[in-house]
Amino acid sequence: MGTMNIAKMKPSPETATFGAGCFWGVEEAFRVLPGVLKTEVGYSGGVTEHPTYEAVCTDLTGHAEVVNVTFDPAVIRYEKLLDVFWKNHNPTTMNQQGPDFGSQYRSVIFVHSPEQKKIAEASKKNLEQSGIWKRPIVTQIEDAKIFTPAEDYHQQYLMKRGLGSCHV
């Protein structure tokens, strides 16, 4: 009988998808985390095929601005990504983050597995019960939808400009 090489049993990278307002700042919050292998901004959750930034900004396509986060679960857990998500936006404002208004800026978690859904729902419930927010949490938790990458100039927008956040 052969022995198993434990070192080769490293978990495969996973994907998490979050919408929490303008995707430039959301991407930057995740991009810098150890264990995050890749971030990509784009659009998800709408009805229009091949949405563009201009179309999404009309608030008619139903898409949210989101960031796809590819991460190594051996280095960073999904729970930690959820912590960053909750701490980097206001989950009590419907279709608004800061000065940005419209359904494209909604608070949403697109889950990629039943396990992610269970963890996200528990995380949301814990936040609701914590009393940190006085108003109800309006964050939606939905099964992952088709993700359309945003135009290239949106990718790592803040990093390319030496900025750490969207709003001062």
Which of the following is catalytic: 22, 64, 82, 144?
22
| Burial call 8-29: b when 16+ CB within 10 Å, e when fewer | eeeeeebbbbbbbbbbbbbbbb
User: What is the residue-wise DSSP string for 50-93?
Assistant: S--HHHHTTT-S--EEEEEEEE-TTTS-HHHHHHHHHHTS-TTS
- Contact, 20 vs 151, CB < 8 A? no
Query: How many CB atoms lie under 10 A from the CB of residue 157?
Result: 18
Does the annotation mark 166 as catalytic?
A: no
Contact (Cβ atoms closer than 8 angstroms) between residue 56 and residue 65: yes
Catalytic residue positions, numbered: 22
